[in-house]
Every structure is written in C-alpha cells, then in structure tokens.
Amino acid sequence: MLAVDVCAPVGTVAHPLATPDDLAETARLVEAEGRRVVTAQVDVRDADALTAAVADGVARLGGLDVVLANAGIGLMDPAADPRQAFRDQLDVNLVGVWNTVHAAVPVLLEQGHGGAVVLTSSVFGLGGDGTGGGDGYVAGKHGVVGLMRTFATWLAPHGIRVNCVNPSGVATPMVLDPAVEALFGGP
Ligand SMILES: NC(=O)c1ccc[n+]([C@@H]2O[C@H](COP(=O)([O-])OP(=O)(O)OC[C@H]3O[C@@H](n4cnc5c(N)ncnc54)[C@H](O)[C@@H]3O)[C@@H](O)[C@H]2O)c1
C-alpha cells in the first residue's frame, strides 16, 4: 500500500488535519495485517510531488491495482478570507482528486491489466450557507461526481473501473470538532 497525506495544516481549515504520527500509525496498522506499506507526506495540490510519490511507491511495491482519492478538507475557519476558503476547497477537494488520478492512472495504463479508481465525494451536495468554505465544499464534491463520470468514460476501454462514494456523517476528526458540532446544532 502507498499511503499519502499532507500531514500538516491547510491555512483556512478549521479542523485539525493528520500529523506525521497519524501516518506512521496507519503504516503500523497496515503492517500489523502482514502487508507492505510505503508512506509519503505529499500535498494533493502538488501534482509533481504526487507523481514522484507514485513512482517511488510503485518501484518499491512492484505495481498498482487500486487508486483511492480520499484526501479532503471540511469546515473552514469562519475568520478566513471567504475567497481563499472557496479556492482552498476546490484546490484540495477537486483539483487534488484530479491530480491524484492523473498521477496514478498512467501506471495502470502501462501495466495493461485494468484496475479500479475510487473517489470520495459526499452527500453534502444540497444546500449551502453562503460562506466561501461551505460553497466550495459543496461545489467541489459535486465536481468529484463529474470527475467520476468523465474518468469512467475515459478508462472503461482499459478495463479500469471508476466509482465514487458519497458518505453522510462519519465520526472522523473532520466532524468530531466543536465548530462542526456547533454548525449542526450541538453534539
Ligand atoms: N467524515 C464525514 O462525515 C465525511 C462525509 C462525507 C465525505 N467525507 C469525505 O471523506 C474523505 C475523508 O475525510 P475524513 O472524514 O476521513 O476526514 P479526516 O480529516 O480524518 O481525513 C482527511 C485526510 O485528508 C488529509 N488531507 C487534507 N488535505 C490534504 C492535502 N491537501 N493533501 C493531502 N492530504 C490532505 C488530512 O490530513 C486527513 O488525513 C474526505 O474527502 C471528506 O470530504 C467525510
């Protein structure tokens, strides 16, 4: 498994993101299952760094079968510049997904034996509150559904399946945060 995470804060985000210790814990849990893992601290907004991480991971692990574009940001700091919050949402939650797929899929195509791509969208596709961060989350997650459709058309002839998952509320650090609880009316 190649596990990639930024392991650092993203400027306008209100909730804590993963740390290097979190990524190390993920690696420990994978190895505890008897599987090999390579980790990389990479920002999905950095397409060149992603491509380099994929090349390194594939060289060390011997190939690639499944791509999961899951990195995302949620609630933005209400004090953040709304224009920047909107752009950060789209850069991470939409452009980051495109970057991830375009870093990894060339390997699947070169291997020539198909594969699978899974994108994490969200049910958060309806409603909004007029904030830059909220609008950006909803627009970005709608965009991920669009990417799934165009990727599926592109990759089906190569035997590569593309789906997205649209979770509702899941108890992760993204939502187990006092500011998110306040937004949705308390714990
Ligand atoms: N938790 C929910 O209720 C919920 C609901 C619907 C969709 N989702 C989506 O599920 C996915 C996973 O979120 P989660 O709930 O596990 O939250 P999480 O905060 O636990 O995980 C998100 C991960 O993405 C990483 N990340 C953020 N920005 C990054 C960047 N620029 N580059 C690389 N890594 C970055 C974070 O460090 C973190 O480890 C996200 O796409 C999120 O939008 C979550």
pLDDT tens track for 87-112? 999 999 999 999 999 999 999 999 99
In short, whether 91's Cβ falls inside 6 Å of ligand 1 is no
Q: Whole-number mean pLDDT of the chain? A: 93
Which atom, in ligand 1's list, is nearest to the CA of 171? Answer: 1
Instruction: Please enumerate in sequence order all residues whose Cβ is within 8 A of that of 31, keeping only pairs 6 or more positions apart, or say none.
Output: 37
Ramachandran category for residue 7: left, alpha or beta (phi over 0 → left; psi -120 to 50 → alpha): left
What is this structure's pTM? 0.94
Integer Cα distance of 111 and 85 in angstroms: 39
pLDDT tens track for 40-69? 999 999 999 999 999 999 999 999 999 999
37 Cα: distance to centroid of ligand 1 (angstroms): 20
Instruction: Determine whether 183 is exposed, middle or buried from the number of CB atoms within 10 Å of its CB (0-12, 13-18, 19+).
Output: middle
CATH superfamily, with its number, for domain 2-183: NAD(P)-binding Rossmann-like Domain (3.40.50.720)
Domain positions in the chain: 2-183
93 Cα: distance to centroid of ligand 1 (angstroms): 9
Which atom, in ligand 1's list, is nearest to the CA of 170? Answer: 3
